[in-house]
Structure 1
Amino acid sequence: MFEKVLIANRGEIAIRVMRACRELDIKSVAVYSDADKTSLYTNYADENYPLGNPSPAKSYLNIEKIIDIALESGADAIHPGYGFLAENPKFGEECEKNGIKLIGPSGKVIHEMGDKITSKALMKKAGVPVIEGTPEGVVEIEEAKEIARQIGYPVIVKASAGGGGIGMRAVYEEEELVRAIESTQSVAATNFGDSTVFIEKYLEKPRHIEFQLLADEHGNVIHVADRECSIQRRHQKLLEEAPSPIMTEELREEMGGSAVKAAEYIGYTSAGTVEFLYDNGNYYFLEMNTRIQVEHPITELVTNTDLIKEQIKIAAGEELSYA
């Protein structure tokens, strides 16, 4: 087991990880920007170190500085929480170079599942249902029009490197398609540094269901039941329910089985979430979150599991505590 873990995050999730560390007799290290100097989490940790500049880009996203602090403090692992560096493959690579264990999946898996086009292609190979759409990024407008005709309107234009619904545009007729593609490309380039977009069939009133996963380094993969986040505003979750109110044991077994299959196919380890869209009796892979999510405590409460402790144990090479 680790002796000391640095938490490369702030606020609520930092305290959550520190609490798990305490219960596992692991010392915790906090990092803080000038803006968070008096925050609760900095006092909750066993040790704390300043990051300086309150700008996230120069503090919580400063990989070099965080690695330096981990080495200085003697931390043998880093937990990235969610947001900030949690889904940055480069961060995992830098941890590995410096002999520090990242409490999360490999950089390769983060990279593959962070790209929506690549992740859909992998899931298709794994035998997980995916929504009909373009297999690659949209390049030619005329080709995009032809693909949209084949799929059938309405379609949706999405940023390949994006998340959180940023830049997504539903298109109901061909006249709107060019504007939607140009708009999404612009938003994607600004927000993600990658203007690649793709098109897929638009499901107008789907249920948004996600399966929590745990996977260790010994080949054990389980799902820890389901959550539903269909109540959203501008593609941002407002309400999370667990279990999903439409779930049956048969559907849970089938969808949960697909989520496990997805994780096994890509060699996933740590905690993660596979998200599906459910529509008229069918379900489709949407994306995979290669990190712990904000809403993880809901699953912990209804299933009596400790997902953060499991993350830490998995990274330390232990087998899952749950069957």
Structure 2
Amino acid sequence: MGTEDDVFFIHLHQAQVDRKTKGMKPSAEYQFKKALSSMRNSGGGVLFVHVGKGIFREDKDAFQSTVVPVLGAMLTEEEIMSDGFRWHRAVSEGEQVYKVDVLPSETFISADLKTKLLAWCVDKHVTASVEKLRQLLLSKRTVSTTEPTVQGLPHLDQADAVKIYVDRNDDKHVYQSLGAPYRSVSVWVNHIINSCSLPQYVTSISKRKQGGSVYVGVTGHNNNDDMDGVSLPWQGRKHELQSMLAEELQKEISVFKNRHSDIVLKPKDVFQIKIHDTGTNCGIVEVAVRSVDGCVFHDPLGPASFKIEKDSNAFVRLSFDKWMEVATG
């Protein structure tokens, strides 16, 4: 167990829990993983969880359904829950407080590896494992060196086409309810990049030996078309939209080469964006992704890994080089 200094407190607000699933929302889950991984990587510690009013009122087992799954994500494949965590309800007048003893890990724990794998049966992509990252970064591989190639709309009919469907109601709200044209365009670009999880799809497709394309559109209006184009916020300025999408997507990813490769790629080298016209001021967005001998991350800093800095008693994120040293060494 860690020292007396390795004691931390975290408050779980009602707004941070999804009412339907009982699970934490992504931002809250990330904060928990940040704290838990830091302690497991730094000799253990204690985490007191203060639960906001109303969260567990209807479900006495809500701590089990809300917090425990996050604890399980901070275990190695060889561990069971008691190897990493022990918890109980702490005595507190009128408050719900849980004390979680966090045990040290012999293997380095990452809060989020920030890279995905394609999985057709599970929402199209899942988080890669440390073992998979070792293969991508350290083992000799044979992959295509071809630059990203736009496939075009005929490729939509192929079995390996990756498609993202934008909800039509959300689509209209994004740019038709806003008065200022520039603001409308920037929100549209952000919607395509982040709401559609494009950085995550780029990381997953880049792991294919031949790369591939992901398409963004809306559900087809008739049986003949599987996908229709999204409305574009600028009339006749498709090339500028492509450039803006590419510029923003570059900011969201990072690429690290395999140690046996001589090819050094920048984020802009990994993909190419083309908007295919499908009607008046509408188009399907294609992001063509090349195969990468290494690993692409949907975070400019790579994997999110933390340790406790003893001087400040704060959670500190490791650089990619340091992560490579401790996680794959």
Q: TM-score range by the shorter chain?
A: under 0.3
Task: Kindly name which structure, 1 or 2, has the bigger radius of gyration based on alpha carbons.
Answer: 2
Which of 1 and 2 has higher RCO (CA within 8 Å, sep 6+)?
A: 2
TM-score (norm 1): 0.25
TM-score (norm 2): 0.25
